[in-house]
Amino acid sequence: MESLPPETLTLPTGPARVEWRRSTRARRISLRIDPSGGGVVVTLPMRAGRAAGMRLLMNHAGWIADRLAALPDAMPFADGASILLHGVPHHIRHRPEARGGVWREDDTLVVTGAPEFLRRRVADFLRAEAGRSLAGLVVEKARRVGRMPRRITVKDTTSRWGSCATDGSLAFSWRLVMAPPEVQDYVAAHEVAHLRHMNHGPQFWALVDELTPHAASSIPWLKREGARLLRAG
């Protein structure tokens, strides 16, 4: 996958932030909305020309404008802002004179240090918290199925909440730490189930239901609220 720096293009409905990507796996030109960046991603097959991508953008300008307008408000990592942690709103409080990194005080996330490092420190804190939370869920469920993952990592993915590689490595979006615990439980169960079934067949879903009671409620929650998590930062 080859990505180019985002650019702002003028479409018939107004300006839009566009990111171009080339993929060896793509068989056709595709568009998707990127909630994290508030723009649109155009994926081109290796032999497709940029002009064809521009035509697709122009032809779907109305759809793009509607989808961008429907995105939830951004959830900035800034002093005084409210963010989610395990589904619970927390206010960010910046204390530049203090030392000690980031910690929780009831419903407040205290961030120390220089202002220019605040955003990064909040993101690092959430990533570490996600790693602890999801690793604990994964290990518990993996023991139940008798298949331990090769490794567990958290990343800043925007197209999927979790993934299971053919070598048994599991990866998760750190943004899941903002979701309620039952949603995290479901995503962990989903990926652990892939350690036994690398498909989405009946046996896979039966195992998911054995590992968590939250699949039925979490799938629609992620569809409904997922863009909000991607808008954080």
Q: Could you tell me if residue 150 is inside a domain?
A: yes
Is residue 151 one of the residues assigned to a domain?
yes
pLDDT in tens, the chain (233 residues): 677 788 999 999 999 999 999 999 899 999 999 888 889 999 999 988 889 999 999 999 999 999 999 898 888 999 999 999 999 999 999 999 998 899 999 999 999 999 999 999 999 999 999 999 999 999 999 999 999 999 999 999 888 999 999 999 999 999 999 999 999 999 999 999 999 999 999 999 999 999 999 999 999 999 999 999 999 98
Q: What is the CATH number of the domain that holds 151?
A: 3.30.2010.10
With a CB cutoff of 8 Å and minimum separation 6, the contacts of 25 are none
Domain contains 75 = no
Beta strands (DSSP E) in 76-156 are 82-85, 88-95, 102-105, 108-112, 152-155
Residue 77 lies in a domain: no
- 78-to-6, 74, 199 alpha-carbon distances in Å: 24, 11, 41
Based on the fold, state whether residues 114 and 141 are members of the same structural domain: no
- Cβ burial, residue 158 (10 Å; 0-12/13-18/19+): middle
pTM of the model: 0.83
Question: How many domains is the chain built from?
Answer: 3
- Residue 30 lies inside a defined structural domain of this protein: yes
Q: Give the domain extent around 190.
A: 128-230
Residue 76 falls inside a structural domain: no
| 144 and 224 co-located in one domain | yes
109: in domain: yes
- Residue 174 corresponds to which tokens in the numbers above? 């750190």
What is the length of the chain? 233
Residues 221 and 138 in one domain: yes
**Residue 74 within any structural domain of the chain:** no
